[in-house]
Amino acid sequence: MSQLSDDEITNPEPENTFEQVVSRRFGRRAMLGGTLATATAFLASGPAGALTSTGFQGKGKSGGRPRNPKAALIDFDAIPLNFGDRPAISPDYNYSIVIPWGTPLDSSGPAFSWPVTSAAAQEAQVGIGHDGMWFFPDGGSNDAGWLCINHEFGRTSHVLGKPLPESLEDVRIMQAAHGNSVVKIGHNGDGTWDVIDDAANRRITVNTPVQFSGPAAGSPLLENAAGNGPAGTLNNCANGYTPWGTYLTCEENFNGYFGSTGGWTASEEQARYGFSDEGFGYAWHEFDPRFDLAAGDYANEGNRFGWIVEYDPEAPDQPATKRTALGRVKHEGCALTIGRGGRAVAYMGDDQRFDYIYKFVSEKNHVSMLARGQSPLDHGVLYVARFDDDGTGQWLELSMDVPALAARFESQAELLIYTRIAADIVGATPMDRPEWTTVAPDGTVYCTLTNNSRRTEGNAANPLAPNPNGHIIRWTDADNHVGTTFEWDIFIFADDTVGTGYDFGSADGLWADPYGRLFIQTDGAQPEGANDQMVVADPETGDIRRIFAGVERCEITGIAVTPDQRTMFINVQHPGNGDPELTRFPDYDASLPPRDCTVVLTRKDGGVIGS
């Protein structure tokens, strides 16, 4: 989501002590120089090898420098920047469309009609705002499996055809358009895919019963006087997936759905999470007291969002579970890897200007924990990142073992419910809107820092002030992801791509494939006002090429692949910002608005996607 939440800053010390210290010691120019020196030093010993501090020297296909032609990771013809109401794709690839907003979950379900007038119909259909997702193959199949997909948000005018809800039923329609879909899809044999009727096909909306687990489960701060049970997930942005076959959906701008009918004043904790009288203008609070900050009986409802939520796509009877050990922030995504000793390690960005990057490390080997009936995501240590000026960094523990945190919080439960405040106290580094994280096969972790037009003072890890086009940072943790120190450098500044042939801005979606290719997706202003896009990068050679570009005012987000990596699913979110005057992608039917949808990419020669 880029348009609705960009103006917020809730960190009370956005350019904090560390930045001030660095700035005083070195001045901004020296800081920038220091970053370059740092990067050079890191690259001399770092895992990714032969890049400059700004990342890349290649200029599209001809400028790439593969190690040898046969081994080139990327070998497709790139496309130029794209404009207008039609998408564009490399001539070496084909695409098709699957599960646009409103697709029935079952062949007997209600067909899409617009504007949407029935919550029951919307709840039996795929939602809007396609974002993070993952493909869970049926028995290892490359032709059938369950797609778990996030429906981050939809504009009220796009869904209802009017600017505001006028009844509780209108609110229920909007709520049904948000959440997650689990939908089995199958390959028709010709590059197109369709929904397959399946007992596991379902919606998880903000009204679906869920459960809490981990240290904050059972906390009075997660209970309401109204006695309503925990329900739902909201503003599901990016995602993760686990080696034990579950999906992780991440709650980002949940604050935007709450508002006040009057007489409410934000607590310190509510202010830090950005709650406000009007929220993002959804006006749910006017008809549904759960979202009314002034409704005392629902005083803690807001604490129930901002979590990483886990569910098993093939187990529709098990409630989705909010894993509180991973903290409560505006979770963008959750890149999970297996570190030393088989520990599950999750990297997570908190997407707001001047907020932080987090890591969770499970207590023990994930296999032995699962064998004992424990979730690896319920027991472990949560950390927040401090990026130091010398190219090293520290993972700062967020637990009651830290005296400054024990002085502020009564329990680990309270600390986790107010994770952002704990991270403020330990001195984490305020970043330029951390979006997706991904772990490359060599262990390097990458994170998109999408942009920050409000930064006035750089720090080593976020040196541009302002930073309207963003950058991508990367690091390598000590001790195979389990250690508390790391070495970092800046992989690429978007500003340095201008005029290269792979120009992009506001990187957001990010995924490293098992071969080491990086897929970079954008959400925001692009060079020359072009449409949002996806590029593929080889970090070793610096080769970057544009493979797909969307339509006007959309965002490209979400990445999933079949096991053979010969089919990739990506999403076009909010095409035309929902305005039929700008585009009617993907149907181009005068009776239909533009529809968020999943795009299926295949290589014409049947090769691996990105090659």
Cβ of residue 237: shortest distance to ligand FEO, in angstroms? 3
Omega of the bond leading into 115 within 30 degrees of 0 (cis):
yes
Which residues have a Cβ under 8 Å from the Cβ of 209 and sit 6 or more positions away? 229, 230, 231, 319
Q: Which does 252 bind (CB under 5 to 8 A by kind): ligand FEO, Ca ion, none?
A: ligand FEO
- Give residues with Cβ within 8 angstroms of 362, minimum separation 6: 343, 344, 345, 369, 376, 377, 379, 380
Q: Which of 523, 532, 538, 543 binds Ca ion (CB under 5 A)?
A: 523
Specify whether the CB–CB gap between 577 and 553 falls below 8 A: yes
Calpha distance 45→66 (Å, rounded): 21
Instruction: Burial-class residue 114 by CB neighbours within 10 Å (0-12, 13-18, 19+).
Output: middle
Contact pattern from residue 422 through residue 461 relative to Ca ion, giving x for each residue in contact according to CB under 5 A and a dash for the rest: -------------x--------------------------
Report the nearest approach of ligand FEO to the CB of residue 128 (Å): 14
Cβ distance to Ca ion smaller for residue 56 or 436 = 436
Amino acid 280 reads F
Residues 6+ apart with CB under 8 A from 101: 112, 125, 126, 127, 128, 129, 130, 154, 177, 595, 596, 597
Residue type, 296: G
For residues 477 and 508, which CB has a smaller minimum distance to ligand FEO in the complex? Answer: 508
- The one of Ca ion, ligand FEO, none whose footprint includes residue 355, by CB under 5 to 8 A per kind, is none
**Beta carbon nearer to ligand FEO, 123 or 435:** 435
Smallest gap from residue 153 Cβ to ligand FEO (A) = 8
Distance, CA of 180 to CA of 117 (rounded, Å): 20
Q: Does 487 bind Ca ion (CB under 5 A)?
A: no
Spell out the residues 6+ positions from residue 220 whose beta carbon is closer than 8 angstroms to its own. 300
Smallest distance from the beta carbon of 122 to ligand FEO, in angstroms? Answer: 21
Helix, coil or strand: residue 149: strand
Q: What is the DSSP string of 304-319?
A: G-S-EEEE-TT-TTSP
Sign for the CA dihedral angle at 440, 46, 334, 318 comes to positive
Beta bridge partners of 167: none
Q: Select 216 or 431, whichever has its Cβ closest to Ca ion.
A: 431
Peptide bond into 586 cis (omega under 30): yes
By beta-carbon proximity to ligand FEO, the closer residue of 301 and 351 is 351
Which of Ca ion, ligand FEO, none does 85 bind, CB closer than 5 to 8 A by kind?
none
Rule CB under 5 A: is residue 249 a binding residue for Ca ion?
no
Task: Establish if 53 lies at the interface with Ca ion (CB under 5 A).
Answer: no
The residues of the shown chain that bind ligand FEO, judged by CB under 6 A, are 1, 152, 237, 252, 332, 351, 435, 508
CB of 251 to ligand FEO, least distance (A): 10
Q: Which does 152 bind (CB under 5 to 8 A by kind): ligand FEO, Ca ion, none?
A: ligand FEO
CB of 394 to ligand FEO, least distance (A): 25
C-alpha span between 274 and 379 (Å, rounded): 28
Tell me if 2 contacts Ca ion by CB under 5 A.
Answer: yes
| Nearest residue (CB) to Ca ion, 215 versus 333 | 333
- Nearest distance, CB of residue 289 and ligand FEO, angstroms: 26
Please, which residue, 435 or 513, has the CB nearer to ligand FEO? Answer: 435
CB of 22 to ligand FEO, least distance (A): 26
Minimum Å gap between C-beta 19 and ligand FEO is 22
Residue 114, classed as helix, strand or coil, is: coil
Residues 502-521 vs Ca ion: string with x where CB under 5 A? ------x-------------
Given the complex with Ca ion, which of 358 and 395 has the nearer CB atom? 358
170 touches Ca ion by CB under 5 A: no
Residues in contact with Ca ion, counted by CB under 5 A, come to a total of: 4
Q: Choose the contact partner of 301 out of ligand FEO, Ca ion, none; CB within 5 to 8 A by kind.
A: none
Cβ closest to Ca ion, residue 19 vs residue 532: 532
d(CA 412, CA 417): 9
Question: 224 or 573, CB closer to Ca ion?
Answer: 573
CA distance 296 to 344: 39
Strands 211-213 and 321-323: parallel
Q: Closest CB to ligand FEO among 292 and 435?
A: 435
- Beta-strand relationship, 308-311 and 247-251: antiparallel
Could you tell me the CA-to-CA distances from 99 to 104, 173, 199, 206, 345 in Å, in that order? Answer: 8, 18, 17, 20, 32
Q: Give the range of 164-172, 286-294, 386-394, 523-531 binding Ca ion by CB under 5 A.
A: 523-531
Closest of 342, 348, 349, 379 to residue 362, by C-alpha: 379
Give the pair of three-digit tokens for residue 13.
Answer: 């010390």
Residues that bind Ca ion (CB under 5 A): 2, 435, 508, 523
